[in-house]
Structure formats: C-alpha cells, structure tokens
Structure 1
Amino acid sequence: MTIPSLIVRHLGRRDYAEVFAEQRAFTDARRPDTPDELWFLEHDPVFTQGQAGKPEHLLLPGDIPVLQSDRGGQVTYHGPGQIVVYLLVDLRRLGYSIRSLVTRIEQSLVATLAVYGIAANADPQAPGVYVDGAKIASLGLRVRQGCSYHGLSLNVDMDLAPFSRINPCGYQGLCMTQVRELGGPADLAAVGTELERQLRRHLDSPDGGV
C-alpha cells in the first residue's frame, strides 16, 4: 500500500524533551487521513531511558542529563553527529505490524550503509543494526492507537565516549561504531539524504523493499 502524502521534516538540532512532547501531541491529534511524517534531526547530548529501562544500566551519566521516555528498549545516548529519525506512521492504515515496521527500518539502515561499502546486519534477538558485532544504529518505538512514534538513531560522526557511561541498550560491554570510522562520509546531510531515500523505498513496498 502506498503511503499517502509522506511528509519529511528536517528539524536541525533540537532538545529531546521538546521533540518528545511534539511527537506525542502529533500522535494524539492524528485523524484517519493525517499524512505520515518522518522527522530528521540531531539532539543535544542526552541519555534516554526506555519505558522498562533499568537504572543499573546507567553507569556514570555525569553531566549529561537522563530523561525518561515511553519508547521500547533500554538506555541509549543521543548527541551531535548522530542522525535521529522519528517515524510518525499510521500502522493500521498501512496494514503493518510493529515487527514489520522494525524490519523495514533495519532494512533501510542496512541498505544505506551498503551504499558506502559498509556491510551491516540486523539481529532478530537485539533490535538495531550492527557491523562486525559493533552497534551502529539503534531502534526504539512506541505505538499508540495504531500509530508509531520515536524511531531510529544512526551514528555518523559523533563523540562515542558517552556510550561508555552506560550499558548501551542494556548490553554490558557492547561496542559502538559509526559511519565515519568505517570509511563512510562524515557529512550528516549526505547520509541523511540516502537514508531518507531508503526509508521511502522500504516503507512504501509490500515486502519491505527486499
């Protein structure tokens, strides 16, 4: 089913709490004919806890704020140099399950990285995208009234040190990596353009674009 009038917004660098509130407000105000939206942005440095996040996975947050979210998953880090995409999608209208949406997001990320010669894969036991066991992209979603919000984060050219202050996504010792370190571009705009293209293709395909 074709996604009707998909709107893509580029929001720049934004405060996490403000955009979180805007996502909830958008979702609450949706009507059956509300177009789906993708929001591309960066966040100021912040740790976010998932709905069932365990405090023991916060090791030494220090001066970086910790905010509670209602997405799935455990704790993660957002900061400059990381592409965040929020997917405000009416799953009921498209006939997609949550699992299908997750798969489409992962496929979009894998395809984006392949453009830069980076061989990545998804892990059915641990949502996200990995390169040789190191995590390069994280996923966390919430579905309310059949509509999704929250989404993905892709490490492009950022300071990865804050990830050492947590157990990323609840996994002790999980290594993190990023596009620049793997030979890809450090240009967030270029990577974002390719990721947008892949998301459109995979979200709009009956089989996820495989």
Structure 2
Amino acid sequence: MSSSPELLWLGERRDYRATWAAMRRYTARRTRETPDACWALTHPPVFTQGLAGRQEHLLNPGHIPVIPTDRGGQVTYHGPGQLILYTLVDLKRAGLGPREWVYRLEQAVIGWLGEQGVASERRPDAPGVYVDGAKIAALGLKIRQGRCYHGLSLNIDMDLAPFARINPCGYQGLAVTDAKRLLGETPALPSIASELAGMLAS
C-alpha cells in the first residue's frame, strides 16, 4: 500500500450491530475509486462469535450479549478500554492477499508495542499478538470480492475479567493482557489508532 487508509475516530462505546451494518454498507457500495478507511472506536461490553464459532467456547456469558457475526474466527470480547481498528480495505486493488493483510495488522501492533519498549510476537497457529504468552490483540476479517472489513482489537486499559467467561478465540485457558498492565501509562486511544493506521502503510 502506498498510502495510509483514511482514519476516522468514531468515538467510545459505539454499538456493535450498528457499526457492523455500516461496514457492510460501506463495502457493498465501494467502487474502484472508493478510498480505503480505518474506523477506530470502542464498543460497550459484547461477545462476538465468528463464522467458525462453537457454542462450547461460550462458558458463562451472563449479562453480556453474544452477537453472531460474519468475521472469521471464534469468540472474543470487546469492551471499554479496548481499541478497535476496523480496516475497510480493497485488498485486490492493493495487490494484497488475506494472509499478507493479517501479517501487516499483526506487524503494526508488534511495531507499536516495540516503540513502547514491549517485546511481542505472533503465533503461527493462532492469529493475533502475544506478550509472554498472553494475548493482547485479536484479529478477524471478512473478505468479499477482494474487499475486507472487520480488523483488529488491541487491549489498552480494560477490565479483562469477561475473557474468563469464554475460551478466547477458541483456546481454553488462554491468558490475556493489556497495555496498561505492561506500561503503567498509555497514550490516548485516538493517538494509538493514528500510529497503527500509519504503520499499516509501511
């Protein structure tokens, strides 16, 4: 990609269903000239179940809603303090395949954490980014006619307890962490979103 996708900060606690519907509309209406975009936001507490989702990975959702969605993968949790970066990108136009885009998303998070002095890594068997074995970022995409939506979630400063109500991304007992626990202080979410979006173009 020769330029960064246009970054839009949509704000805090944006409804998941409404945002998902907006992504589908944006993708369905795209033309060859439609610019790529990154939508940055947070959601209220919600579990989302990907296309491969299996009921046994929902251990005890309780009062938190569970929404089946059309991204790949299993179940994950979204909530306040977690940065969501939805990437609405024409991969075909950019000459990118799905695996390369997943790699770039992971690399943007790895690069950002590295700039904060935190070493992280990807795992070949489980997309996402990990710090000392604990997951800090999750990925899930939907690709339609070469155009993708959904994207990544990066735990910044959040209540991690709801992750214990599921098998995160389908992995029993998977540890999770966030940037606040690693850094003490973290930049504002819009600032982090801007840095990540810039890294996606490199």
Task: Determine the C-alpha separation between the residues in 2 that align with 1:122 and 1:196.
Answer: 22
Q: Judge conservation of contact 1:109–1:195 (CA < 8 Å) in 2.
A: no
Task: Determine the C-alpha separation between the residues in 1 that align with 2:31 and 2:179.
Answer: 37
The residue matched to 2:21 in structure 1 has which SS? helix
> Displacement of 1:196 after TM fit?
2.7
Task: Determine the C-alpha separation between the residues in 2 that align with 1:11 and 1:32.
Answer: 24
- Which runs of structure 2 are paired with 1:25-174 in the superposition (5 Å)? 25-174=25-174
Task: Determine the C-alpha separation between the residues in 1 that align with 2:175 and 2:52.
Answer: 22
Task: Determine the C-alpha separation between the residues in 2 that align with 1:195 and 1:109.
Answer: 10
Amino acid at match of 1:196: S
Matched positions, count: 201
- Which runs of structure 2 are paired with 1:1-16 in the superposition (5 Å)? 1-3=1-3, 6-13=5-12, 14-16=14-16
TM-score by length of 1: 0.92
Q: Give structure 1 stretches of 5+ with no counterpart.
A: 206-210
Deviation per CA, 1:118-164: give whole Å up to 9, x if none. Answer: 11101121100000100000000010011010000000100000000
Deviating above 4 A after TM superposition, structure 1's stretches of 4 or more consecutive aligned residues are none
Task: Determine the C-alpha separation between the residues in 1 that align with 2:184 and 2:119.
Answer: 11
User: Considering only aligned residues, what root-mean-square deviation do their CA atoms show, in Å?
Assistant: 1.3
Task: Determine the C-alpha separation between the residues in 2 that align with 1:99 and 1:195.
Answer: 22
> Displacement of 1:184 after TM fit?
4.7
Amino acid at match of 2:5: L
Q: Which position in structure 1 is the counterpart of 2:188?
A: 188
Q: Which position in structure 2 is the counterpart of 1:175?
A: 175
Q: Which position in structure 2 is the counterpart of 1:200?
A: 198
Task: Determine the C-alpha separation between the residues in 1 that align with 2:96 and 2:186.
Answer: 33
Task: Determine the C-alpha separation between the residues in 1 that align with 2:114 and 2:91.
Answer: 27
Q: Judge conservation of contact 1:81–1:188 (CA < 8 Å) in 2.
A: no
TM-score by length of 2: 0.95
> Displacement of 1:200 after TM fit?
2.2
Amino acid at match of 1:8: L
> Displacement of 1:17 after TM fit?
0.5
